[in-house]
Amino acid sequence: MSSLNLDDFTDLIERPDGGIRRDAEARRERQIVPPGSLGRLDELGEWLAAAQSAVPVRPVERPRVVLFAGDHGIAGLGVSARPAGSAAELVREVLEGGRPVSVLARRLGVPVRIVDMALDCDPETLPEGVVRHRVRRGSGRIDVEDALTPEEAEAAFRAGIAVADEEADSGTDLVVLGDVSVGGTTAASVLVAALCGVDASVVTGRGGLAIDDLAWMRKCAAIRDALRRARPVLGDQLQLLATVGGADLAAMTGFLLQCAVRKLPVVLDGVVTAACALVGQRIAFRAPDWWLAAHDSGEPGQAKALDRMALEPLLAHGVTVGEGTGGLLALPLVQASAALAAELPEKPKESEEPAEPEASEASEEPAQPEASGTSETSAER
């Protein structure tokens, strides 16, 4: 029997400090630029102050990109523009610096960490630091079989918890979370449809490389079939991840929840991270207060999940490449909000007007004219 009790997260996760947020709002009202004139940056600075329990807010100096990687058996149905089992190639390209996330991370000076959970390749072909948490080689085809066994799902979930603890203990002050997967958006869409109670067509998107109409129809059918398998296990979130998720998605869910426990803010990238966050919300309703939606990728499943969690994306550039790219684009905005909240000067205090001196009694009475000698002489005459 599993010793993992997901209900514990409800007790362990607290909301960001509301009192600190009110202090941050009060400080913002005293600053030289009127409140609201910086738009979302005001809200971001206050959110970050509450997450840090610090006023003024501290700068974000040690951010990190964390990418969970895996292959999904459902990709074998032709639901992705990439060949099934090719996620390892993407991982190597990220490590070699040739992917968009690599370029942005290099430019912004942010380290990238990749965690292999279920890549379909020999572990010897990748660095030890990447593969040490791997649960299995590829996840099952979720339209006809479970993605994971219950034991594998728990192992993946615990691996995500461990990675979150490692990041928090190392001094990381903000995480940009993303995925490197083939078939991951299909599994994510199943989770969103199941948890939001909608049909497959409502959440089926085109994926990172914009599949054609035939592939979209295959993807929609795969999500529909997997959704039938998901509905009976909706009451058990770990079983749901085992049935229609995957090792990378289970790990991301554990990672997100443990980051909330450790009070480590997380920036969500695309539909896969949004789906895992939605599962996390079902486990611990306060957890989304620690997460920030980076951008609107255009995936309908992402929009549905973010709406359910009341998370509004910062950007809407139509970035669908995944791999944390959209999350990194939002990072400078978060850092800018922290700098503005901390460094804008406060308005000068209004100087007191000096009080008018009170008039004396003598000054209030009209002056009496003095009699001149000439008039007296005239009277005598």
pLDDT at 365 over 80: no
Q: What whole-number percentage of the chain has pLDDT above 90? A: 83
Give pLDDT tens digits for 69-93: 999 999 999 998 899 999 999 999 9
Domain of residue 266 covers 61-338
Position 1, amino acid? M
Task: CATH number of the domain at 84, please.
Answer: 3.40.50.10210
Q: Is residue 3 part of a domain?
A: no
pLDDT at 373 over 60: no
pLDDT, position 360: 46
Nearest to 304 by CA among 187, 227, 177, 194: 194
Task: Report the alpha-carbon distance of residue 211 to residue 152 in Å, rounded.
Answer: 31
Higher pLDDT, 257 or 215: 257
Higher pLDDT, 280 or 1: 280
Whether residue 322 contacts residue 269, with contact meaning beta carbons closer than 8 Å, is answered with yes
pLDDT, position 209: 66
Q: Is residue 122 part of a domain?
A: yes
Q: Beta-strand (E) ranges in the chain?
A: 63-71, 112-118, 174-182, 266-268, 291-293
Task: Report the alpha-carbon distance of residue 176 to residue 186 in Å, rounded.
Answer: 22
pLDDT at 362 over 50: no
Q: Is residue 49 part of a domain?
A: no
pLDDT, position 322: 87
Whether residue 86 contacts residue 180, with contact meaning beta carbons closer than 8 Å, is answered with no
Task: Report the alpha-carbon distance of residue 195 to residue 86 in Å, rounded.
Answer: 29
pLDDT, position 317: 86
Q: Give the per-residue SS3 of 261-291.
A: HCCCCEEECCHHHHHHHHHHHHHCCCHHHHE
Task: Report the alpha-carbon distance of residue 78 to residue 75 in Å, rounded.
Answer: 6
> How does residue 356 score in pLDDT terms, banded at 50, 70 and 90?
low
Q: Is residue 8 part of a domain?
A: no
pLDDT at 358 over 90: no
Give pLDDT tens digits for 92-147: 999 999 999 999 999 999 999 999 999 999 999 999 999 999 999 999 999 999 99
pLDDT, position 378: 38
pLDDT, position 366: 47
> How does residue 63 score in pLDDT terms, banded at 50, 70 and 90?
very high
Q: Is residue 374 part of a domain?
A: no
Task: Report the alpha-carbon distance of residue 264 to residue 368 in Å, rounded.
Answer: 83
Give CA angle at 250 (246, 252), nearest 5°. Answer: 120
- pTM for the whole thing? 0.89
pLDDT at 256 over 50: yes
Span 58-62, mean pLDDT?
Answer: 95
Nearest to 277 by CA among 131, 172, 170, 175: 175
Q: Is residue 21 part of a domain?
A: no
Q: Is residue 15 part of a domain?
A: no
Which of these ranges, 14-18, 237-241, 316-320, has the smallest mean pLDDT? 316-320
Largest CA distance in the chain: 137
Q: Is residue 357 part of a domain?
A: no
> What's the chain's average pLDDT?
90
pLDDT, position 76: 94
> How does residue 3 score in pLDDT terms, banded at 50, 70 and 90?
confident
Whether residue 65 contacts residue 113, with contact meaning beta carbons closer than 8 Å, is answered with yes
Span 321-343, mean pLDDT?
Answer: 94
- 83's tokens: 């060949």
Whether residue 147 contacts residue 242, with contact meaning beta carbons closer than 8 Å, is answered with yes
pLDDT, position 355: 52
pLDDT at 352 over 90: no
Half-sphere exposure of 314 (CA within 13 A, CB side): 23
State phi, psi for 374 to the nearest 5 degrees: -65, -40
pLDDT, position 350: 67
Task: Report the alpha-carbon distance of residue 82 to residue 374 in Å, rounded.
Answer: 120
Whether residue 142 contacts residue 241, with contact meaning beta carbons closer than 8 Å, is answered with no
Span 268-277, mean pLDDT?
Answer: 96
pLDDT, position 38: 93
Radius of gyration of the chain (CA): 31
How far CA 36 is from CA of 52, 60, 186, 228, 350, in Å, comes to: 22, 22, 39, 46, 22
Residues involved in catalysis: 323
pLDDT, position 375: 40
pLDDT at 377 over 70: no
How many domains, the chain?
A: 1
